[in-house]
């Protein structure tokens, strides 16, 4: 009988049978370890939650009264003899990779992550492991991010020009992550930063958690429109095209998402400006992050899993596609209608380390719910 893998993919989420806990379960369980507070990773209904300190107030705000234990990065928690520790994922404030160790075997669940330091989330830290469970939201070679300083220079220039032309400026980004990243990188000498209620509620939760954010002004029915016109409004994707947004007319509207890298995405959002700003790793970021783990095998949970699995197998990794319910937090309905072209790419900078020889069959395998990962080579021999 093959040894049961330490982590397995079940119909409720990623499960550790030895430790009797789940990671980011999408159905209610007794014991949940949470990578970050986005809705597709932190579901309501679990009996007990474990997450990073900086996720505390946002989780309580989003999920109500829950039984929640929070820890610092690197702090060790034991569950039934299994050691759990959290490491920075750089995705949003409080986001963590979950490291699980048992009898000398180490698995890491990345959750969502990015490798660029955004100046507000604790920067991503590669963690050595035997098995790495990774996202690949932008696992296509067309996704290559520019340094954020260039994006924010563009954004500040756009805002300055709008203010000079008496146009309101509305910038749209996800309420947890993108909104704070934008806020911290705006040039506040241009004007005031106004926020939609959904964004401000998240900002307030983070401030209760001790996070220092730049000053913001919540938009209420009493906020004078002429004042708002000189400032910039941070709004969530759900506000696009609503009467709430239209009342700021005339305005220029910018959308921040990794999907803006794809031709036509801006037009589909009806945005005046598309800012290619993502809280996920780009193609190079994914490949370098996976390589830095030194892992024996990698499991791809969400994104362009088929393409990316094929690519990784082709360059010598033992990669597997797995099925999960993790979704897209780069903007509602923003998955491109047509998939971008796959270009043949090589990674001269990347060479697999010595001694990490792979049993490469050049194929990917889709694991159905509950299938024993051990059968797919997901255990150490
Ligand atoms: Zn996320
Ligand atoms: Zn996600």
Q: Where is 200: in which H helix or E strand?
A: helix 197-208
Name the pLDDT band for 1 (thresholds 50, 70, 90).
Answer: low
Q: Please list all protein residues whose beta carbon sits less than 5 angstroms from ligand 1, which is an ion.
A: 38, 112, 329
Percent of the chain at pLDDT > 90 equals 81
Q: What is the pLDDT of residue 331?
A: 60
- Residues 126-168: pLDDT tens digits? 999 999 999 999 999 999 999 999 999 999 999 999 999 999 9
348: left (phi over 0), alpha (psi -120 to 50) or beta: alpha
Percent of the chain at pLDDT > 70 equals 86
- Residues 25-71: pLDDT tens digits? 999 999 999 999 999 999 999 999 999 999 999 999 999 999 999 99
Cα 202 to averaged position of ligand 1 atoms, centre (Å) = 14
Q: What contacts 198, CB < 8 A, 6 or more positions away? A: 175, 236, 238, 239
Cα 136 to averaged position of ligand 2 atoms, centre (Å) = 10
Topology of domain 8-143+279-376, per CATH? Metallo-beta-lactamase; Chain A (3.60.15)
In whole angstroms, what is the distance from residue 173 CA to residue 329 CA? 10
Domain boundaries, given as residue ranges, for the chain:
8-143+279-376, 148-275
Task: State the average pLDDT over residues 317-338.
Answer: 73
Q: Give the angle 59-369-136 at the CA atoms, nearest 5°.
A: 60
Name the pLDDT band for 328 (thresholds 50, 70, 90).
Answer: confident
The CATH architecture assigned to 148-275 reads 3-Layer(aba) Sandwich (3.40)
Quick count: other Cβ atoms within 10 Å of Cβ 245?
Answer: 18
Cα 137 to averaged position of ligand 1 atoms, centre (Å) = 10
Choose among 154, 206, 217: nearest CA to 175.
206
Cα 113 to averaged position of ligand 2 atoms, centre (Å) = 9
């Amino acid at each position: 009988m093959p040894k049961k893998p330490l982590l397995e993919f079940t119909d409720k989420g990623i499960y550790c049978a030895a430790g009797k806990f789940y990671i980011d379960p999408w159905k209610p369980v007794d014991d949940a370890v949470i990578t970050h507070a986005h809705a597709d990773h932190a579901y309501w209904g679990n009996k007990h939650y474990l997450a990073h300190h900086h996720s505390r107030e946002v989780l309580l705000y989003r999920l109500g009264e829950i039984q929640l234990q929070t820890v610092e990065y690197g702090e060790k928690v034991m569950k039934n003899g299994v050691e759990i520790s959290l490491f920075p994922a750089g995705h949003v404030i409080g986001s963590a990779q979950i490291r699980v160790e048992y009898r000398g075997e180490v698995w890491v669940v990345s959750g969502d992550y990015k490798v660029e330091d955004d100046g507000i989330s604790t920067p991503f830290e590669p963690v050595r492991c035997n098995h790495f469970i990774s996202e690949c939201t932008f696992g296509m070679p067309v996704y290559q991010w520019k340094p954020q300083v260039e994006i924010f220079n563009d954004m500040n220039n756009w805002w300055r020009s709008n203010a000079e032309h008496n146009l309101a400026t509305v910038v749209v980004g996800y309420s947890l992550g993108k909104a704070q990243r934008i806020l911290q990188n705006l040039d506040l000498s241009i004007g005031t930063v106004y926020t939609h209620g959904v964004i401000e509620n998240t900002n307030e939760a983070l401030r209760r958690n001790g996070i220092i954010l730049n000053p913001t002004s919540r938009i209420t029915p009493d906020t004078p429109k002429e004042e708002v016109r000189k400032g910039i409004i941070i709004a969530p994707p759900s506000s696009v095209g609503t009467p709430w947004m239209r009342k700021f007319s005339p305005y220029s509207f910018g959308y921040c998402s990794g999907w803006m890298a794809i031709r036509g995405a801006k037009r589909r959002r009806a945005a005046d400006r598309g800012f290619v700003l993502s809280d996920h790793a780009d193609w190079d970021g994914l490949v370098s992050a996976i390589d830095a783990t030194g892992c024996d095998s990698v499991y791809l949970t969400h994104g362009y899993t088929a393409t990316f699995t094929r690519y990784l197998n082709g360059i010598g990794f033992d990669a597997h596609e797995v099925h999960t319910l993790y979704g897209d937090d780069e903007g509602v309905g923003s998955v491109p209608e047509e998939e971008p072209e796959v270009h043949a790419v090589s990674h001269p900078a990347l060479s697999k380390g010595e001694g990490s020889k792979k049993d490469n069959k050049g194929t990917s395998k889709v694991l159905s719910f509950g299938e024993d990962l051990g059968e797919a080579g997901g255990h150490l021999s």
